[in-house]
Amino acid sequence: MSSLRITEIFYSLQGESNTVGLPTVFIRLTGCPLRCTYCDTAYAFTGGERISITDIVAQTATYGTKYVTVTGGEPLAQVGCIELIEQLLASGFFVSLETSGALDVSKVDARAVKVLDFKTPSSGELSKNLYQNIDFLTIQDQIKFVIGTDEDYEWSKELVAKYKLDERFEVLFSPVMGLQNPTELAEKILRDKLQVRFQIQLHKLLWDDAQGK
């Protein structure tokens, strides 16, 4: 029976993406090959509990919502993540996958919404981005840029223009809490007339980023 190492499964409001505010079950897989400077889930790097995919899906169903987010860590670091997504979809859930963009997404079921987080310069992991992942995204998918500095903003703006990302997908610009002033980022977006979605992590405003929320 296939199983995965899981850090936590919890029920909360979606804090990001285009389903922000919707009651969602979060399945946080353990492990990540990246070490971003602004990471807010370092507790998921190690540990966790091995749980069968069947039991993960069954536990997810007890919360009574159709929205599920598979996240990490980096969920695709565990091979079984692909099967988990397929089983969740087969059970009728609306599934989104939060992934760093550093691992191949070509085998992810096309029915799942991929939220691909390209790493900006201040992350310290810029070299890990796999830009060929863009070829495996569809119009329903989203590309996220976490902005911590002016350099991050300019780099993200240039990448959006280079690949015409705003014409092909929904693009999200998100400030690093405590590092990038959100109002300043919003004003830059308006000034430069970028066709991107500005977002603030709702869960951090509501629960001060408490684990499991």
Q: 26 with 10: CB under 8 angstroms?
A: yes
Residue 71: its pLDDT value, please?
97
Q: Please list the residues that pair with 66 across neighbouring strands.
A: none
Polymer length in residues for the chain: 213
Per-residue pLDDT averaged across 114-139, rounded? 97
The structural domains of the chain, with segments of one domain joined by +, span 3-207
List, in sequence order, every beta strand (DSSP E) within 14-151: 23-29, 49-52, 67-71, 94-99, 113-118, 142-147
Share of the chain above pLDDT 90, in %: 87
Please say if the pLDDT value at position 34 is more than 90: yes
Please say if the pLDDT value at position 207 is more than 80: no
Nearest partner of 112 among 145, 87, 130, judged by Cα:
87
Element housing 172 (H / E): strand 170-175
Per-residue pLDDT averaged across 26-37, rounded? 97
CATH number for the domain formed by residue range(s) 3-207: 3.20.20.70
Where does residue 68 fall: left (phi above 0), alpha (psi -120 to 50 degrees), or beta otherwise? beta
Element housing 6 (H / E): strand 3-13
Largest CA distance in the chain: 53
Residue 26: its pLDDT value, please?
97
**Could you give the CA distance from residue 166 to residue 133 in angstroms, rounded to a whole number?**
16
Per-residue pLDDT averaged across 126-153, rounded? 97
pTM above 0.75, yes or no: yes
**Could you give the CA distance from residue 125 to residue 71 in angstroms, rounded to a whole number?**
18
Q: pLDDT digit string (tens) for 142-191?
A: 999 999 999 999 999 999 999 999 999 999 999 998 899 999 999 999 99
The three-class DSSP label of residue 127 is helix
**Could you give the CA distance from residue 145 to residue 128 in angstroms, rounded to a whole number?**
14
Average pLDDT, rounded, for the chain: 94
